[in-house]
Chain A
Amino acid sequence: MSQLTHEIREAARKLLRNKQAQLVIGFEEGSLPLRGRPCFIRKEEDVDRLVWTSFSDINVARYLAKRKEKVALVAKGCDSRALVELIKENQVSRDQVIIIGVPCEGMIDRPRIEAEVGHKAIVEVEETENRLTLKGRDFEKAFDRREFLYERCKACDHRNPVLYDVLVGQLVEEKVRESFPDVEAFTALDREKRWAYLAEETGKCIRCYACRNACPLCYCPECFVDTSQPQWVGKSTGLSDTLVFHLVRAFHLAGRCVACGACEQACPMGVDIRKLNRKLVKDVKDLFNYEAGVSLDEASPLATFCATDPDQFTVNP
């Protein structure tokens, strides 16, 4: 059992025992290897279900909205950033959550590592420090976990929780602030190439809205894709409708997206969803000097304005 798992269990046990929290949201072992599953612990005797692995990857801040009870949340860097945005948007009250902060060393890209063993059935996984051993019925293979992180985790510059009440483990070293090489490279392509790439990517979309459902910051009671009077976006999987869906989905997250990658991970079709989000993260940083989920005091960029905001894009005869 890893040290972090042990410390998370102890922290959760203490909070439940002292009645400081009625519910602990964290991760447990999934029903298959290489999968973490969010779990909801209400009783002290269930605390030992909690674990911390390289697969505790989805954003658990998703499960906070509209809860009445006092909740303890096991939060890595991106979870805590989503939580900051939720608090700012008055979806969660700061007094209502106790944050068990977990410094994160990146999560493992399951599809990639599965491909590495030729998609053979994996029966058991062992994790020690930076080594990950996958065992199947007729094979055993060890990997350096750092080589199989999600792209978003490799680029992450907020691995430590930005806000916490209890910290487990040791804070990790933050990487140097990232620039946006991926966005710049894409912008440098010809317009037709960019359009063709996005047409191909969004062409895969089956409009299941898993990306929206997994997103910690998509909490509207009625999403624009579900309204029928007026029906703003068609339901088809044609290029026009899907692209408009993806554009507006990304736009609704402008200045709020914390780049946790929950959308992309939830996508069953492997659509490059973050492509659009990243552009908006960059523009919000460049134009309004704002980074989502970092501070509780700074106003959200689209909820405020400045008299000297950029204006060059307007027509001036």
Chain B
Amino acid sequence: MKESGTWEPKIVAFLCNWCSYAGADLAGISRIQYPPTIRIIRVPCSGRIDPLFILASLQKGADGVLVSGCHPGECHYLTGNYSARRKFALLKGLLEYVGLEEDRVQFSWVSASEGARFAKVVEKVTARITALGPAKQLVKNVPGGSFDVAAHS
């Protein structure tokens, strides 16, 4: 449970249907505890992730974004995550280059059998984003919206 008065980040997690989403599910049915900071969006494959999804999340007030897919070599569609990995490597470098806080956007690989790993990934990602505090850089303030930043401060 969240203690009253302490700030907790809102993290958008894009999880691939075949591995990471199932990994999250396994963490759930195994009753593994992890911070309730993520808002999961299920996607068919990590290859489906367009950099725009990530940037749009940050614009709408997410404090961080986590993208997770199958381990390289284990993609349900054989090569989707290999293509995604190239895109992510470039995106990560570009976002860092423009001076966006480095840990706002993070990537990981979690398989369907790795419920414990999923929980650890979320813990680590949450810790890093909590350390950064509320996101300000790309946020477009939408008053009264579901991501109203005023509610954070």
Residue A315, interface by CB 8 Å: yes
Choose among B94, B101, B121 the residue that contacts A251 (Cβ–Cβ < 8 A): B94
Interface size classification for chain B = 35 or more
Would A311 and B87 count as touching, CB distance under 8 A?
Answer: no
Note all chain B residues with C-beta closer than 8 A to A306.
Answer: 82
- Of A62-70, A140-148, A277-285, the segment with at least 4 beta carbons within 8 Å of chain B is A277-285
Choose among B55, B97, B101, B121 the residue that contacts A317 (Cβ–Cβ < 8 A): B121
Would B99 and A305 count as touching, CB distance under 8 A?
Answer: no
Residue B113, interface by CB 8 Å: no
Would B101 and A191 count as touching, CB distance under 8 A?
Answer: yes
Note all chain B residues with C-beta closer than 8 A to A283.
Answer: 89-90, 93-94
Note all chain B residues with C-beta closer than 8 A to A305.
Answer: 79, 82-83, 85-86
Min CB distance A238 to B, Å, is: 7
Would B93 and A279 count as touching, CB distance under 8 A?
Answer: yes
Give the residues from 223 to 257 in chain A that come closer than 8 angstroms, CB to CB, to chain B. Answer: 224, 232-234, 238, 240-241, 243-244, 247-248, 250-251, 254
Contacts known (A241-B140, A248-B51); A314 close to B87, Cβ less than 8 A: no
Residue-wise, chain A 296-317 has the 8 Å CB interface mask toward B (1 for contact) of 0000011001110111011111
Choose among A232, A241, A313 the residue that contacts B107 (Cβ–Cβ < 8 A): A313
Would A317 and B123 count as touching, CB distance under 8 A?
Answer: yes
Would B107 and A279 count as touching, CB distance under 8 A?
Answer: no
Would B121 and A194 count as touching, CB distance under 8 A?
Answer: no
Would A279 and B94 count as touching, CB distance under 8 A?
Answer: yes
Min CB distance B28 to A, Å, is: 18
Number of interface residues of A (CB under 8 A): 45
Residue A210, interface by CB 8 Å: no
Give the residues from 85 to 123 in chain B that come closer than 8 angstroms, CB to CB, to chain A. Answer: 85-95, 97-102, 106-109, 117, 120-121, 123
Note all chain B residues with C-beta closer than 8 A to A251.
Answer: 51, 90-91, 94
Residues of B contacting A: mostly: helix
Would A280 and B94 count as touching, CB distance under 8 A?
Answer: yes
Would A314 and B107 count as touching, CB distance under 8 A?
Answer: yes
Residue A95, interface by CB 8 Å: no
Note all chain B residues with C-beta closer than 8 A to A317.
Answer: 117, 120-121, 123-124
Query: Roughly how many angstroms separate A197 CA and B98 CA in the complex, as a whole number?
Result: 9
Min CB distance B73 to A, Å, is: 7
Residue A186, interface by CB 8 Å: yes
Query: Roughly how many angstroms separate A196 CA and B98 CA in the complex, as a whole number?
Result: 9
Note all chain A residues with C-beta closer than 8 A to B85.
Answer: 305, 309, 311
Would A315 and B90 count as touching, CB distance under 8 A?
Answer: no
Note all chain A residues with C-beta closer than 8 A to B52.
Answer: 224, 232-233, 244, 248
Would B94 and A250 count as touching, CB distance under 8 A?
Answer: yes
Residue A193, interface by CB 8 Å: yes
Residue A20, interface by CB 8 Å: no
Residue B59, interface by CB 8 Å: yes
Would A194 and B98 count as touching, CB distance under 8 A?
Answer: yes
Would A284 and B90 count as touching, CB distance under 8 A?
Answer: yes
Query: Roughly how many angstroms separate A183 CA and B97 CA in the complex, as a whole number?
Result: 9
Residue A198, interface by CB 8 Å: yes
Query: Roughly how many angstroms separate A243 CA and B137 CA in the complex, as a whole number?
Result: 10
Q: Give the top 9 A-B pairs by smallest Cβ distance, nearest first.
A: A195-B99, A317-B120, A194-B99, A305-B82, A315-B108, A313-B92, A191-B99, A240-B140, A279-B97
Known pairs A247-B94, A309-B89. 7 more at Cβ < 8 A? A279-B93, A287-B89, A288-B86, A307-B72, A310-B89, A317-B120, A317-B124
18 residue pairs of the A-B complex, CB under 8 angstroms, read A232-B52, A240-B140, A243-B138, A244-B55, A244-B56, A247-B51, A247-B94, A247-B95, A251-B94, A254-B90, A284-B90, A305-B83, A309-B82, A309-B85, A313-B89, A314-B106, A315-B66, A317-B121
